[in-house]
């Protein structure tokens, strides 16, 4: 091979190398842009999910507060049961309760619980 042929081959090889470099550089730039776009989309989605999560937490807290404010603690009911047991365990008088009396007593006990809960 002569120097001219080697020069031509070198020039072709050099041009091919530059073309390949430009292709790789272009693909890398497209890749960077695509990655940046995906990162932006993911950041936006994360923000949306955080907002949804915050809203859900607020709803849960509100529901818990509502339940707490509208419920009677189990211990109050247990205390009331014990109080009633003391009465019928120590009462020496024989009483006959009608069903109506039983319902009235239940209603009275429940009303007492509600009144205690308001205080």
pLDDT tens digit sequence for 35-94: 889 999 999 999 999 999 999 999 999 988 888 777 777 788 788 778 777 766 555 555
Extents of the domains making up the chain = 1-71, 72-119
Q: Is the pLDDT of residue 1 over 70?
A: no
Helix orientation angle between 74-90 and 99-118, rounded to the nearest 10 degrees: 140
Q: Is the pLDDT of residue 5 over 70?
A: no
C-alpha angle with apex 76: 95 to 88, nearest 5 degrees?
15
> Hey, what are 44's tokens?
């936006």
For 49, 53, 106, the CA distances from 56, given in Å and listed in that order, are 10, 5, 39
The model's confidence at residue 28, banded by pLDDT at 50, 70 and 90, is confident
Q: Is the pTM of this model over 0.75?
A: no
CA R_g for the chain? 42
């Amino acid at each position: 091979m002569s120097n001219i042929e080697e020069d031509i081959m070198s020039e072709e090889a050099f041009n091919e190398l530059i073309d390949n470099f430009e292709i790789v550089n272009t693909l890398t730039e497209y890749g960077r842009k695509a990655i940046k776009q995906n990162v932006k989309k993911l950041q936006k989605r994360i923000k949306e999910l955080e907002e949804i999560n915050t809203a859900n937490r607020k709803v849960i807290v509100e529901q818990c507060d509502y339940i707490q404010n509208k419920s009677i603690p189990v211990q109050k009911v247990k205390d009331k049961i014990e109080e009633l047991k003391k009465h019928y365990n120590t009462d020496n008088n024989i009483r006959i309760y009608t069903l109506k009396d039983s319902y009235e007593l239940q209603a009275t006990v429940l009303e007492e619980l509600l009144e205690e809960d308001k205080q």
